[in-house]
C-alpha cells in the first residue's frame, strides 16, 4: 500500500479512524472479502462523519484515484446483499 487515505484536517482523531477503517473495508472487499454486516457497520460510522452525498462522492473519487479501489460498487453490493453474505469484488 503506497497511498494515503482521504480525510479532512477538521475531523477529530476518532472521525479519521472511522473513515480510514471504512476505506480499509473497501480494500478488503476487493482483496479477501468482507462480511456484509462488518462493512455496513463501518459504512454507518463513515456516514456519521461524511453525511452529505456530494462529500461522500468526493472522498470516494479521491480514494479511487489514490488506490484504484472503487467504493461505489462495494456499497451497491452491500445494499443489495443479505446479512450473512460476504462481499467480494474483483478489481478492474
Question: Structural domain boundaries of the chain?
Answer: 13-82
Residue 92 pLDDT class (50, 70, 90 cuts): low
Q: Which CATH class is domain 13-82?
A: mainly alpha
pLDDT, mean of residues 72-84? 90
- Calpha distance 30→16 (Å, rounded): 22
Res 44 pLDDT > 80: yes
pLDDT, mean of residues 73-87? 89
Element (H, E) at 50: none
DSSP type of residue 87: E
DSSP type of residue 81: S
Res 61 pLDDT > 90: yes
> What is the pLDDT, as a whole number, of residue 50?
97
Res 83 pLDDT > 90: no
pLDDT, mean of residues 6-35? 96
pLDDT, mean of residues 19-38? 96
Helices of type H across the chain: 13-31, 36-49, 53-67, 71-80
Residue 62 · residue 6 · CB < 8 Å: yes
Amino acid at each position: 500500500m503506497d497511498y494515503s487515505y482521504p480525510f479532512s484536517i477538521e475531523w477529530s482523531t476518532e472521525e479519521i479512524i472511522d473513515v480510514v477503517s471504512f476505506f480499509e473495508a473497501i480494500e478488503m472487499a476487493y482483496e479477501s472479502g468482507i462480511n456484509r454486516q462488518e462493512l455496513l457497520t463501518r459504512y454507518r460510522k463513515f456516514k456519521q462523519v461524511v453525511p452529505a452525498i456530494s462529500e461522500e462522492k468526493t472522498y470516494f473519487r479521491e480514494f479511487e484515484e489514490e488506490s484504484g479501489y472503487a467504493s461505489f460498487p462495494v456499497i451497491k453490493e452491500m445494499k443489495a446483499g443479505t446479512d450473512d453474505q460476504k462481499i467480494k469484488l474483483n478489481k478492474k
